[in-house]
Amino acid sequence: MLNWRLLKHVSSHSHAHVKSATISPICVSALPISTVTPTHAAAINTLASTRNFITGLALGVVLLIGFALFAHLRLKIARRKLQQAKDLADHREHERNLAQQELVRRLEEERELAKEKLQFESQLAEYEKYASLAQLALGAAHEINNPLLGIMSHLELERKHASGEERTEVEQCIEGAKRISSAVRGLLDYARPGPLLLGKVSLFRLVSETLKFVEHQPLFRNLTLTNRVPLDLPPITADVNQLSQILMNLLLNAAQATSAGGSIMIAAELEQAASVVELRISDSGSGIPADILPHIFEPFFTTKRGKGTGLGLSISQSYIRSHGGDIQVESVEGLGTTVRVTLPAHQPSKPAREYSEVIA
């Protein structure tokens, strides 16, 4: 095809020099290749170079496209591996977080178990002390009360016939004997609380009647007594006599620690979630020193020498525990004291009856 075009080109070029000659196609086709001029050769070379350039360019483009596809494939593989490495790192991070959480949970469980163990051991030691004290109290009660009754009867007879200084000494002996009898009775109440006589108790009514009873007593006369128990607080199931004695003991302690012009406040609230009632007795008194606070529930422990047996808080704690409750004391020396009594709102599996009056 290319030779035919070149020959056609040569034919037209020769026709320009030989105007009168007529060359047939057969003759033109028979012309030898040696008749091609340098111009024709240059054209042929140019065409060949162009063809080679285009061929090389096409080959380069194909190679470039292939390299681009290969690079894209490598990049895609690298991204996939990077994502896999990232997922693996996230998975390991998640596993590490889970392991840390599990470790923290186990440490917290061990801490709680250790705390419960200490509490259990403390309660066990306290119960053992109570059991020993109960045996001591029960044994001592008969040994002390029987002779004490004879002594008091004899002292009462002596007082009838005594006068002056002798009568004063006899009366002092009688007061001492009464204190011994009161201590023995309190010890028995602490060591062996009586069975619960449960009833539905309105704390607002109980607190109101107790405050009404004590407000005219000399110890409470110069104090401000406030009842902050909600009127609509639901009644709880409790032994009204024991609850009244608990309240009286706590009020007496508060009044003895509060100087004239001070205040005592009683509040209560129902914790619905736990189904318990918290009773708070707060005073603005002198507070309890930090070194004394851990000992206040110990039997016969008192800082009021000659004014008490040291059994008020011990008996109150015993009564509260017999109800399934708890008592906590918060105090700062010089800033007053708050006693928190927590009681179940209801006593399970125990019948309840309404009470008609408060026995103080």
- For residue 13, pLDDT beyond 60: no
Q: Which of 6, 52, 51 lies closest to 31, judged by CA?
A: 6
More confident position, 46 or 26: 46
151: pLDDT confidence band, cut at 50, 70 and 90? confident
Question: Terminal CA-to-CA distance of the chain, rounded, Å?
Answer: 135
> How many whole angstroms separate alpha carbon 51 and alpha carbon 59?
12
- For residue 6, pLDDT beyond 50: no
- Kindly give the pairing relationship between strand 224-228 and strand 198-201: unpaired
Question: If DSSP codes are grouped into helix, strand and coil, which group holds residue 322?
Answer: helix
- Give pLDDT, residue 223: 92
The torsion defined by the Cα of 295, 297, 300 and 303, in degrees rounded to 10, comes to 50
100: pLDDT confidence band, cut at 50, 70 and 90? very high
- Give pLDDT, residue 313: 85
Average pLDDT over residues 153-167: 84
Tell me the pLDDT tens digit for each residue of 279-326.
Answer: 999 999 888 888 888 888 887 777 776 566 677 888 888 889 888 899
Domain spanning 197-354: which superfamily? Histidine kinase-like ATPase, C-terminal domain (3.30.565.10)
- Give pLDDT, residue 262: 92
- For residue 15, pLDDT beyond 60: no
Q: How far is CA 17 from CA 12, 14, 20, 338, in A?
A: 9, 5, 9, 136
Question: If DSSP codes are grouped into helix, strand and coil, which group holds residue 196?
Answer: coil
Please answer whether residues 194 and 346 qualify as being in contact, where contact means their C-beta atoms are separated by less than 8 angstroms: no
Tell me the pLDDT tens digit for each residue of 48-87.
Answer: 888 888 888 888 888 889 888 998 899 999 999 999 999 9
- For residue 228, pLDDT beyond 90: yes
CB contact set of 158 (below 8 Å; sequence gap of 6+): 170
Domain ranges within the chain, ordered by starting residue = 2-66, 197-354
42: pLDDT confidence band, cut at 50, 70 and 90? confident
> How many whole angstroms separate alpha carbon 338 and alpha carbon 332?
9
> How many whole angstroms separate alpha carbon 172 and alpha carbon 192?
30
Question: If DSSP codes are grouped into helix, strand and coil, which group holds residue 345?
Answer: coil
- Give pLDDT, residue 30: 42
In the structure encoding, which two tokens stand for residue 299, read together? Answer: 């039997």
- Give pLDDT, residue 190: 66
Angle, to 10 degrees, between the axis of helix 165-191 and the axis of helix 38-161? 140
The mean-pLDDT minimum among 5-14, 122-131, 307-316 falls in 5-14
Element (H, E) at 298: none
Reported residue count of the chain is 360
Average pLDDT over residues 265-282: 89
3-state helix, strand, coil in the chain (%, to 5): 60, 15, 25
For tokens 């070379």, the residue is 45
More confident position, 85 or 139: 85
The mean-pLDDT minimum among 92-96, 136-140, 315-319, 341-345 falls in 136-140
